[in-house]
């Protein structure tokens, strides 16, 4: 088995601040994802990456940057934190042979003051 | 563009009964994969079951089964003999097999409450 680790679990920042979330997986999966979940809502895709150094925009990419410098890690940067984007950010991964079944991390909760 | 819609916000059922949760999807891909995930109260999200669009048989895993109606772009989740621990949020998701690559989108979720 493997695990997806997201850090930090809780992130508090000031409005306008640049904030970074990190995700590590030891499944040796090719594809990784970042989703945003607002309280009581569904998951919206921000960015995904099908291999090292690849980046694909999701439906909610504006205001975010991502980086996949290694196969095992995928980071997400909030370029200028806003109060209306307080949410839980979820990282997930899937292997090439696995037709889309995702494995999720525990989430990182962002609070903007 | 891909889109997944779950119109049922919340469902309450008595324990040991059967419940169906609805999901409709939109895609331009001729081949695609459909999934259901469960999010527990702790926030953990787990995969439940998958339907490949080219398969006519409805997928079944344990007490989860799917009602796949391709002409209606519909993939319902059926839970038989519900248990208290089935109380959770259920998400429908899809991924195209061709043009959209590995992009996987989710619906808004349906809250299921199972009571005694």
CA distance B38 to B25: 18
**Cβ contacts of A94 on chain B, cutoff 8 Å:** 102, 104
Rounded to 5°, the CA angle A74-A90-B107 comes to 125
CA distance B37 to B45: 7
Q: Tell whether A11 is within 8 A of chain B (Cβ).
A: no
CA of A26, closest CA in chain B: separation in Å? 17
> Over A71-107, what HEC string results?
CCEEEEEECCCCHHHCEEEEEEEECCCCCCCCEECCC
Per-residue pLDDT of chain A (113 residues; tens, 9 = 90+): 789 999 999 999 999 999 999 999 999 999 999 999 998 889 999 999 999 999 999 999 999 999 999 999 999 999 999 987 789 999 999 986 666 689 999 999 999 98
User: How high is the pLDDT of residue A98?
Assistant: 60
**Cβ contacts of A107 on chain B, cutoff 8 Å:** 43
Query: Are residues A45 and B105, on separate chains, in Cβ contact within 8 Å?
Result: yes
> Residue B85 burial (CB < 10 Å; 0-12/13-18/19+)?
exposed
Peptide linkage before B110 cis (omega within 30 of 0): no
Q: Tell whether A102 is within 8 A of chain B (Cβ).
A: yes
Torsion of CA B42, B45, B46, B47, to 10 degrees: 160
User: How high is the pLDDT of residue B102?
Assistant: 79
Q: Tell whether A1 is within 8 A of chain B (Cβ).
A: no
CA distance A93 to A51: 11
Rounded to 5°, the CA angle B97-B103-B109 comes to 110
Other Cβ atoms less than 10 A from the Cβ of B78: the count is: 16
Query: Are residues B102 and A50, on separate chains, in Cβ contact within 8 Å?
Result: yes
- The residues in B 40-59 lying below 8 A from A, measured between CB atoms, are 43-47, 50, 52
User: How high is the pLDDT of residue A43?
Assistant: 95
Q: Which residue of A has its CA nearest to B111?
A: A40
Quick: pLDDT tens for B50-70: 999 999 999 999 999 999 999
User: How high is the pLDDT of residue A101?
Assistant: 85
User: How high is the pLDDT of residue A95?
Assistant: 83
Per-residue pLDDT of chain B (116 residues; tens, 9 = 90+): 889 999 999 999 999 999 999 999 999 888 899 999 999 999 999 999 999 999 999 999 999 999 999 999 999 999 999 999 999 999 999 998 775 667 889 999 999 999 99
> Residue A23 burial (CB < 10 Å; 0-12/13-18/19+)?
buried
Measure CB to CB from residue A101 to each of B50, B105, B106 and give the nearest one.
Answer: B50
User: How high is the pLDDT of residue A99?
Assistant: 65
């Amino acid at each position: 088995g493997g695990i997806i680790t997201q850090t930090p679990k809780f992130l508090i920042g000031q409005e306008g601040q640049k904030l970074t979330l990190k995700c590590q997986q030891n499944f040796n999966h090719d594809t990784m994802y970042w989703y945003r979940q607002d309280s009581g809502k569904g998951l919206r895709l921000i960015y995904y990456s099908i291999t090292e150094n690849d980046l694909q925009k999701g439906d909610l990419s504006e205001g975010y940057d991502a980086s996949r410098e290694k196969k095992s890690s995928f980071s997400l940067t909030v370029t200028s934190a806003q109060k209306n984007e307080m949410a839980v950010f979820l990282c997930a991964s899937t292997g090439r042979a696995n037709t889309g079944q995702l494995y999720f991390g525990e989430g990182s909760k962002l609070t903007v003051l | 563009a891909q889109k997944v819609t779950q119109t049922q916000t919340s469902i309450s059922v008595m324990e040991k009964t059967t419940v169906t949760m609805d999901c409709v999807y939109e895609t331009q891909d001729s081949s695609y994969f459909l999934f259901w995930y469960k999010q527990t109260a702790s926030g953990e999200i787990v995969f439940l079951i998958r339907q490949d669009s080219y398969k006519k048989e409805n997928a079944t895993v344990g007490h989860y089964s799917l009602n796949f109606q391709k002409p209606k772009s519909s993939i319902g989740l059926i839970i038989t003999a519900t248990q208290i621990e089935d109380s959770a949020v259920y998400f429908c998701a899809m991924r195209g097999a061709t043009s959209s690559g590995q992009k996987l989108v989710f619906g808004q979720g349906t809250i299921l409450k199972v009571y005694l």
